[in-house]
Amino acid sequence: MGRIATHARASLLDRLIDLEPESQQEAQPLRALPLREWRQAFFRDLEWLLNTYCPLTEAKLADRQQLTVLEYGLMDFATFFTHNPSDYARLVEAIEKTLAIYEPRLKDVKIIIEPPDEGHIHNELQVGLDARLDATLLMDKVEEPISFFIRGGQVGELKIVSE
């Protein structure tokens, strides 16, 4: 009978973050986290990625053959219209591409953006994002389906809301 995992390998960010910057001694490198802490760190890293602004325009991103950490983050979608299906498609593609490049713990990512309420007038300004992410979460050698919401409001900060 197989052993049940209690820890998972810490993310690169967790291994790089200095939890005691005032200390003169080099800390022991963090190798693994308990599963609960690993999951919390995963959602934190994902929020950081989605809330980091990529400085390149959509056109310049499309021209790049390979992206680096300099392009880390999500492109600016402040000018997208909530009632425009092509803007929905562009935003879905941008989020899925960003996650495919910078979040290796997710695979088979599918983003579904919730359309605005039918009661809204077509030229009424709506601010925010309401999307669902369905994917496979890779935790060391274990794969599990995962689903959660990505919500954003007027201040522009995206939040992960797990089910």
Residue 144 resides in a domain = yes
Domains in the chain: how many in total?
A: 1
For residues 139 and 43, what is the distance between their CA atoms, to the nearest angstrom? 13
Residue 36 resides in a domain = no
In the predicted structure, residue 122 carries a pLDDT above the cut 90: no
Question: pLDDT tens-digit profile of 52-79?
Answer: 988 888 888 777 777 788 888 988 887 7
In the predicted structure, residue 120 carries a pLDDT above the cut 60: no
Residue 15 resides in a domain = no
Residues of the domain holding 134: 45-162
Q: Can you list the alpha helix ranges (DSSP code H) found in 4-163? A: 12-16, 35-50, 58-63, 85-102
Residues 98-126 have a mean pLDDT of 77
- Tokens representing 140? 């060391």
Residue 4 resides in a domain = no
DSSP single-letter state for residue 125: -
Tell me if 91 sits within 8 A of 77, measured CB to CB. Answer: yes
Residue 18 resides in a domain = no
Residue 149 resides in a domain = yes
Residues 95-122 have a mean pLDDT of 82
Residues 125-136 have a mean pLDDT of 80
Residue 63 resides in a domain = yes
Contacts of 101 (CB under 8 A, 6+ apart): 67
Residue 3 resides in a domain = no
Q: Which residues pair with 33 in a beta bridge?
A: 8
Q: What is the DSSP string of 41-53?
A: HHHHHHHHHHTSB
CATH number of 92's domain: 3.10.450
Contacts of 7 (CB under 8 A, 6+ apart): 32, 33, 34, 35, 38
Where does the pLDDT of residue 27 fall: very low under 50, low under 70, confident under 90, or very high at 90 and above?
A: low
pLDDT score at 1 = 47
In the predicted structure, residue 43 carries a pLDDT above the cut 90: yes
- Mean of the per-residue pLDDT values for the chain? 80
More confident residue, 14 or 110: 110
Residues 94-99 have a mean pLDDT of 91
